[in-house]
A and B are shown apart, each in its own frame.
Chain A
Amino acid sequence: NAGVTQTPKFRVLKTGQSMTLLCAQDMNHEYMYWYRQDPGMGLRLIHYSVGEGTTAKGEVPDGYNVSRLKKQNFLLGLESAAPSQTSVYFCASRTSQTGPYEQYFGPGTRLTVT
């Protein structure tokens, strides 16, 4: 069991460039989440998904899009990167069989936008 994996681990973008972060989980979890973590700001939810083909906005969705075409994958897209999106991005997943707050996190993607 690899758990939750994230690709890439590190990335540097120039302002205006686009990229996609990939999250994959092999635990057959229904729910998946994208968070960003910034010093002094804690963990903030960007988007989440309650199942294949469904997505919803979290608390800081602007500038990001997501897709969940397959149950095991949750993609986070940045269409036009901005320096304010420099952050560490974490993906998480959970099963519907446990409470909503027992989430399993990936190792993170460190993104720098210059």
Chain B
Amino acid sequence: DAKTTQPPSMDCAEGRAANLPCNHSTISGNEYVYWYRQIHSQGPQYIIHGLKNNETNEMASLIITEDRKSSTLILPHATLRDTAVYYCLKINAGGTSYGKLTFGQGTILTVHP
């Protein structure tokens, strides 16, 4: 069974970079890596996605290894408001076109003052 693994929890000091890892036991050529987060009592929030190249946007950077089985989400300067559950998703771009999202357990990131 294909499995996505994320650490259940991580801590980060405010102002430092938060590096959240994600591993996939298998990943095929048309499967993207997506990252979402969910701050307590709020709706999920899209962060970033990538296929094989590293990506950066105003929220974060995404580093994907050459075999694509590992990715790291980087929040360059974490703030207290970044405390949330972070979900790494593996999504088949050629799959369900309407876009059903399914979240696993995720990583609880706690940013400390």
Contact = CB atoms under 8 A, between A and B. Distances in A.
A105 B100 contact: no
A35 B99 CA distance: 12
A33 interface: yes
Interface residues of B, number: 21
| Interface hub of A33, A56, A101, A106 (most chain B Cβ within 10 A) | A101
B47 to A, nearest CB: 10
Interface stretch (B37-45, B59-67, B72-80): B37-45
B41 A101 contact: no
Interface string B77-94: 000000000000101010
A104 interface: yes
B98 A101 contact: no
Contacts, number: 59
A107 B43 contact: yes
Contacts of B32: 99, 101
A92 interface: yes
A58 to B, nearest CB: 7
Interface in B4-26: none
B43 A101 contact: no
Interface stretch (A13-21, A40-48, A69-77, A78-86): A40-48
A106 B46 CA distance: 12
Interface string A43-60: 101001010000010110
B102 A42 contact: yes
Contacts of A45: 100-101
Interface string B98-113: 1111111000000000
| Interface hub of B43, B91, B96, B102 (most chain A Cβ within 10 A) | B43
Given A90-B44, A108-B42, A103 B102 contact: no
